[in-house]
Amino acid sequence: MERKNAWKSYNAEQLDELHYLCEGYKAYISDNKTERECCDAAVEMAREGGYVELGEAIAAGKQLKAGDKVYVVNRGKSLMLINLGTDDLEAGVNILGAHIDSPRMDLKQNPLEEKNDLLTLDTHYYGGIKKYQWVTIPLAIHGVVAKKDGSIVNVCVGEDEGDPVFCVTDLLIHLSQEQLTKEASKVIDGEMLDVLCGGRPVVIDAAEGDDAKKADDKDLVKKGVLAILKETLDIEEEDLLSAELEVVPAGRARDLGFDRSMILGYGQDDRSCAYTSLVAQLDEKDVRRTSVCLLVDKEEIGSVGATGMTSHFFENSMAEVLALAGKQGDLALRRCLTNSQMLSSDVSAGFDPTFASAFEAKNSSFLGRGITFNKFTGSRGKHGSNDADAEYVAKVRRVMDEGGVNWQTAELGRVDLGGGGTIAYILAEYGMSVIDCGVPVLSMHSPWEATSKADIYEAYRGYRSFLERA
């Protein structure tokens, strides 16, 4: 059952909508390369759309009713938006879920190291990456530094035209005979992912005397960089102990191809699904069944921690919403969660003809053929997956077809090669109906991933149809 290419079906109005959506998407992933940045930008969009912070509603003693819109932020790294519908909350809600963290390198807590007049930053990679892909490319540093006085310093260096950039070095080809005999996983090991960040020693004033000069004549490059950090950001080396600084590819997302049909950018896993879910949630003004949009952290490392999907953030927030809507008690919450249904959105492995042997073609997703539904994910024998039941798959088929959405189905590559997981199984623990879906991606988890604009558009259309019809 080969699915048609979505580009063949668009009229002029739809092409305009596609262009507008994708321009907003490119700006979003270019301007926001950390989960905190994505969350802050989403909150700003939500407030512009009439959403009120849930804590504000609680403090004001507000009673929630149909048409009210609230949001909850979890430690600045995950977000939940709720649009109250006319249906009874105990009958369940429609949930769009995606994650906003992406593979990257994180600075270690004690990162600065000077050797041979070169200063580097030690990193610890986050999520599944091919380490060799991260060398020699321009890198930027994004994140926050939390100081002991309670203040927060926002950091973003490497994105503006006048900013410096950073890089991880590689061995020149002329001396690489031994390196090139190694397996790809070992060509660059984790401890070699040191980010080059300085090479100019400060000059010690000779007037201070020879003894003073000798005593201070070490780590002069480090001293110079620390002076810059103090002057520009007002941070000390010790402040890096309580920092969250992420090293990401520098530069903006760009149109890909002569026909500009695709997008090349960092973090499209899973911000291609997060952004389209967010916009779909905001564009649905009045809903019958309450709609929820979940944008969460830590999926790339197992959805753990206080900001991951395995925390009780979602459940606790839903309990607060039900209470403000006059639905007190644990039973009302349990009924709501059990009767809910969800599109758990994460990117799918787009079929790449260059690596065709890794796929089983008729059960693969293809760029340009629309949003992809995965009945199950997991690895090998479906381990770690939510396996959507046939009845729910049939319902999703109906919802997509009624909305005129271009869609396809897929598995994540050949059965024995590996696989991957999403947040779907976590929500399914409540007994709700959940299916995996998302945007096909080429070069997933690389510094620069590729998507089709048609699939971005169809994901948005699919989410709208789900919120309206499911």
Kindly report the CATH number assigned to the domain that includes residue 276. 3.40.630.10
pLDDT at residue 419 in the model: 72
pLDDT at residue 262 in the model: 98
Do 277 and 295 form a contact (C-beta atoms < 8 A)?
yes
Q: Based on the domain organization, do 93 and 109 belong to the same domain?
A: no
Q: Based on the domain organization, do 127 and 179 belong to the same domain?
A: yes
Q: Based on the domain organization, do 296 and 378 belong to the same domain?
A: yes
Structural domain contains residue 258: no
pLDDT at residue 220 in the model: 95
User: Average pLDDT over the chain, rounded to whole?
Assistant: 94
Q: Within 10 Å of residue 406's Cβ, how many Cβ atoms?
A: 23
Q: Based on the domain organization, do 191 and 227 belong to the same domain?
A: yes
Helical ranges in 49-149 per DSSP H:
54-59
> For the chain, what is the domain count?
2
Q: What percent of the chain has pLDDT over 70?
A: 97
Task: Give which of 65, 66, 83, 93 is closest to 470, Cα–Cα.
Answer: 93
pLDDT at residue 300 in the model: 92
Last residue of a domain, one of 218, 249, 280: 249
Q: Based on the domain organization, do 424 and 360 belong to the same domain?
A: yes
Q: Based on the domain organization, do 122 and 204 belong to the same domain?
A: yes
Place of tokens 């979940």: 294
119 Cβ contact partners less than 8 Å away, ≥ 6 residues apart? 112, 113, 196, 197, 198, 199, 221, 222, 225
Structural domain contains residue 255: no
pLDDT at residue 385 in the model: 79
Helical ranges in 249-288 per DSSP H:
268-283
Structural domain contains residue 369: yes
Q: Based on the domain organization, do 39 and 117 belong to the same domain?
A: no
- Where does the pLDDT of residue 352 fall: very low under 50, low under 70, confident under 90, or very high at 90 and above? very high
The answer, yes or no, to whether residue 421 has pLDDT greater than 80, is no
Render pLDDT for 154-191 as a digit per residue (tens, 0 to 9). Answer: 999 999 999 999 999 999 999 999 999 999 999 999 99
The residues pairing with 156 across neighbouring beta strands, listed in sequence order, are 142
Last residue of a domain, one of 249, 275, 301: 249
How far is CA 157 from each of CA 152, 162, 197, 229, 242, rounded to the nearest angstrom? Answer: 16, 10, 11, 11, 18
Task: Give pTM, 2 decimals.
Answer: 0.95
Q: Based on the domain organization, do 30 and 135 belong to the same domain?
A: no
pLDDT at residue 8 in the model: 96
Q: Based on the domain organization, do 310 and 179 belong to the same domain?
A: no
- Where does the pLDDT of residue 335 fall: very low under 50, low under 70, confident under 90, or very high at 90 and above? very high
CATH number for the domain including 188? 2.30.250.10
- Where does the pLDDT of residue 215 fall: very low under 50, low under 70, confident under 90, or very high at 90 and above? low
Q: Based on the domain organization, do 377 and 434 belong to the same domain?
A: yes
Structural domain contains residue 305: yes
Last residue of a domain, one of 249, 282, 302: 249
The answer, yes or no, to whether residue 394 has pLDDT greater than 90, is yes
Structural domain contains residue 1: no
Domain holding 80, by residue range, is 6-102+266-469
Question: What is the total residue count of the chain?
Answer: 470
Distance CA 133, CA 122 (A): 17
